[in-house]
Amino acid sequence: MQSDSNKPSTDLNQLHLEAGVKLARSWWIRWLCIALAWLCLFTAVLGLFIPGLPTVDFVMLAIFFAARGSKRLYLALVNNRYIGPILIEWQQHRRLPKKVKYISTVSMSVAAVLMIYHIPHPWVLYPLLACLVFALFIVWRK
């Protein structure tokens, strides 16, 4: 039989995660936040398949809106086995795991190469590339 020695730490982690939930007072703002959280999640999933569309950014926005709209949705996101550890790392230490940084760098590099070959106008291409370089700087600074 397994001991319950790790049960208090699980409860403490759950309490810590629930502390991040600050529901809006108005019911219609809660519904708006829930809708925005789902829209951000949908956009994040699209970002998995469309180069240049940031996935992690939209997941972070989704967790922000979920914390103001629905405790249940917030906990479902934080306890998700794929994105949960990233969100917890961000909430506790304000940094992204190295694996996420590497994946972001590769996907942004692919997006940059695709833009270089498919966007003929330099006045559009250079600002877009500058945005990608700036985003990479922000990802790697911590």
Reported as a single tens digit per residue, the pLDDT across 56-78 is 889 989 999 998 999 899 999 99
Question: Which range of residues forms the domain containing residue 81?
Answer: 1-94
pLDDT tens digit at each of 142 positions of the chain: 444 444 444 544 554 555 567 787 788 989 999 999 999 999 999 988 887 788 888 998 999 999 899 989 999 999 999 888 888 888 888 888 898 889 888 888 888 998 999 989 999 899 989 988 998 898 888 7
Both structure tokens of 1: 């039989």
Q: Are residues 64 and 110 in the same domain?
A: no
Q: How many domains does the chain have?
A: 2
- CA distance to 46, 47, 59, 98, per residue, from 19 (Å): 30, 29, 19, 26
Q: Are residues 78 and 117 in the same domain?
A: no
Q: Are residues 67 and 4 in the same domain?
A: yes
What value, to the nearest 5°, has the Cα angle with vertex 133 and ends 131 and 135? 65
